[in-house]
């Protein structure tokens, strides 16, 4: 983090080497185009530099911190940019796998994510995907589906806790 704060070339490349691909992949999934994902990736690492001094490793993992920055920036952009098509809703377990790559850590993370999501039923998986990958609020989901707001919130929370429990003890970074 000190290296990142100083704008140290190696430190930035190390951080990018670990998280560049998942950040880009998340951006592509949320924003729908490679150009937007490229811009998002750059913005995420600039934001990481701006916030590096505030990162506290005793309060959370680096991956959680960085991917939260990525997701927040992407959702902000989705909501800000009028006319940007929101990504087509695809259930996460329907996303085709990319060919094997030399990034074992990323693959392990993804495997853990897929297993955690597999612990949910289809409806709950879809519910989480609509909030997380399309940036829909509980109220927007409630109004779209004609379900009481409280029910949507309860289901979302229960599904998130289930994902958390399914992933317990499998965290890497």
Partner 1 sequence: MNCAGVRDQLTEHALGVLSVRDAATVERHLQWCAACRKEAGDLQRATAVLAFSPAPAEVPAELQDLVVARVRSVAGVRTAPPAPRRARLAVAAVAAAVVAVSGLGWGAVMAGRAARFEARADVATMQQRTAIEEFQRLVRSAEFSDPADKVYIGRLLPAQGAGGGGAAMTLVSPSIIDLAIVMVNGVPPERWSTLPFTVHLTAASGARLKVGRIDALDSGGADTISREFNRDLSLFDRVVVVDAQGRVVMSGPLATKADVASPSP
Q: Which of 60, 89, 121, 144 binds partner 1 (CB under 8 A)?
A: 60
124 near partner 1, judged by CB under 8 A:
no
136 near partner 1, judged by CB under 8 A:
yes
13 near partner 1, judged by CB under 8 A:
yes
**Does the CA dihedral 50-53-59-60 come out positive or negative?**
positive
Q: How far is the CB of 44 from partner 1 (least distance, A)?
A: 9
Q: How far is the CB of 67 from partner 1 (least distance, A)?
A: 4
Virtual torsion, Cα 42, 46, 49, 50, nearest 10 deg: -160
Which residue's CB is nearer to partner 1, number 102 or number 146?
A: 102
Report H helices in the chain: 2-5, 9-31, 34-51, 62-80, 104-118, 122-132, 138-145, 149-166
18 near partner 1, judged by CB under 8 A:
no
Q: How far is the CB of 147 from partner 1 (least distance, A)?
A: 15
55 near partner 1, judged by CB under 8 A:
no
Residues of span 91-110 touching partner 1 by CB under 8 A: 92, 95-98, 101, 103, 106-107, 109-110
Burial classification of residue 152, based on how many CB atoms lie within 10 Å of its CB (0-12 exposed, 13-18 middle, 19 or more buried):
buried
Report H helices in 32-61: 34-51
User: Which residues lie closer than 8 Å to 160 by C-beta, 6 or more apart?
Assistant: 128
Q: Which of 55, 113, 126, 142 binds partner 1 (CB under 8 A)?
A: 113
């Amino acid at each position: 983090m000190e290296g990142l704060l100083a704008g140290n070339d190696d430190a930035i490349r190390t951080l990018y080497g670990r998280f560049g691909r998942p950040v880009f992949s998340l951006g592509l999934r949320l924003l729908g185009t490679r150009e937007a994902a490229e811009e998002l990736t750059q913005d995420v690492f600039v934001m990481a530099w701006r916030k590096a001094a505030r990162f506290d490793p005793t309060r959370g993992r680096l991956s959680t911190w960085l991917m939260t920055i990525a997701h927040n920036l992407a959702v902000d952009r989705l909501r800000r940019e009028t006319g940007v098509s929101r990504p087509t809703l695809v259930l996460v377990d329907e996303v085709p796998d990319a060919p094997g790559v030399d990034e074992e850590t990323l693959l392990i993370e993804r495997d853990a994510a897929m297993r955690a999501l597999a612990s949910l039923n289809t409806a709950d998986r879809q519910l989480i995907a609509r909030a997380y990958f399309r940036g829909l609020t509980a109220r927007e989901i409630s109004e779209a589906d004609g379900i009481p707001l409280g029910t949507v919130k309860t289901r979302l929370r229960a599904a998130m806790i289930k994902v958390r429990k399914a992933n317990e003890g499998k965290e890497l970074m």
